[in-house]
Amino acid sequence: MFTKKWLTCVIGLFVLTLWIAGCSSQPKLRKQQSKLDDPEHHALRGRDLIKDNRWKDARREFRLALEIDDKYSPALAGQALVNAHETTLAGKSAEEKEKDAEQAMELLDGSFDHAKNDRQKAHAHVMAIRVLSMLKAEEDWLDDAEGHFEDAVDLYQDEDNIKFSNLRAEPHFYMAEAYRDASEFSKAITEYSRVLELNLGFTREADQALEQLQKMIRAEPGSRLGKRISRSPTLTRGDMAAMLVEELRLPQLYGRDAAKQKYNTSFKPPTKQFVTQQKREIPVATDIEAHPLRSDIEQILDTGVRGLEASPQHLFYPDETIIRSEFAIMLEDILIQVTKDRSLSTRFIGDTSPWPDVRPDAFYYNAARTLVSRNIMTVTNKTRGEFGPNEPVKGADALLSIRLLKDELENYIRKPES
């Protein structure tokens, strides 16, 4: 028969076992291996890497910070932004993106729960603006972002927080980015302008963003794709194909010229009476079959735009980023094909290059000169006078160039009823 004392010991042993199991299930924090191996350093490094668009490296830095202190607020906020960025990557399933979004919001909540001072709270609010802007998970995401913006501004303007007032421009910049993404352009301009007025950081970024925003407004993209692309910092070959189809209506434009061609339909005797073996036809591009923009790419391949052809290996590389030298080649070819002015392809050959970063014997030199001389493209650095041939093409720049090309070709591009 069990005694009361024995039963008490059994219960105590059981509780102790559960406690030990619970302790062992908790992740074990690691010790710092050097003076700079601390959460603050890794979190700051992670933010710098995000600025350089090195998201995988940033994730590593935030993890290193959380391995030392799993409640370090800036690292939790940084990890939340990385998870939010994961939802924008191609090739992920809806379930994977949903999981990333949920984890991002959980980490963001943790960054608020564990913020130890006003500076960390303000940082969490700024990161919340960025996470919400990236996820756009709810219809009222912009309202939520505005709430975090107001809280961040209040914290940065508090007289007691004068020691980190140099960060006051940060919430204005990221709120401007949020307004831009929500197509609230007038509000975005106001916040970008506020960043320039404060002159406490982000001035170069705000100035460039204002210039791009003005280009977006001038471009007035007509298609839903164009409106999405106008906010993109880079364009892929697939994006460019779709944009030429939707914004320039290139296949139809080229098709009208093709329709005017005369074909010889007279009888010709066959050169071979029999075909012993039918040759297997290889698709023009074998890497676009599962691509969402396949239809647009195939139409552009049919037009034969220079710079957007498939390789000899039948590869189109739809996800490869387009740079400005390639973009100039494409637009020059369209200009030549539509105007039928072949002299455009050699007009500037032999001239001295006006740009320090472009040699006059570069394959794209004449194209770049042609497009800039017609104000369809512009230099990237007005101070140094550089063309920027290897820089990626921004969405707003591409849309504006196509809009200006339309104006240049207005005598050749007519509506069917005209």
Instruction: Please name the amino acid found at residue 97.
Output: K
DSSP 8-state secondary structure symbol assigned to residue 323: B
pLDDT of residue 257: 46
Residues 6+ apart with CB under 8 A from 332: 306, 344, 345, 366, 367, 370, 371
Contacts of 139 (CB under 8 A, 6+ apart): none
pLDDT at 12: 58
CA distance 284 to 315: 8
Question: Tens digits of per-residue pLDDT, 129-176?
Answer: 999 999 998 889 999 999 999 999 999 886 565 556 678 899 999 999
Domain 35-163 = CATH 1.10.357.10: no
Bigger pLDDT: 201 vs 326: 326
* pLDDT tens per residue, range 162-173: 556 678 899 999
Average pLDDT, the chain: 85
Mean pLDDT of all residues in 97-103: 94
Instruction: Indicate the range of 93-97, 211-215, 352-356 predicted with least confidence.
Output: 211-215
- Residue 174 backbone class (left: φ over 0; alpha: ψ -120 to 50; beta: rest): alpha
Query: Mean pLDDT over residues 25-44, rounded?
Result: 80
CATH 1.25.40.10 domain span(s) along the chain: 35-163
- How would residue 20 be classed by pLDDT, with cut points 50, 70 and 90? low
**Would you state the structure tokens that stand for residue 174, as one six-digit string?**
């990221």
What confidence tier does 410 reach under pLDDT thresholds 50, 70, 90? confident
pLDDT: which is higher, 138 or 332: 332
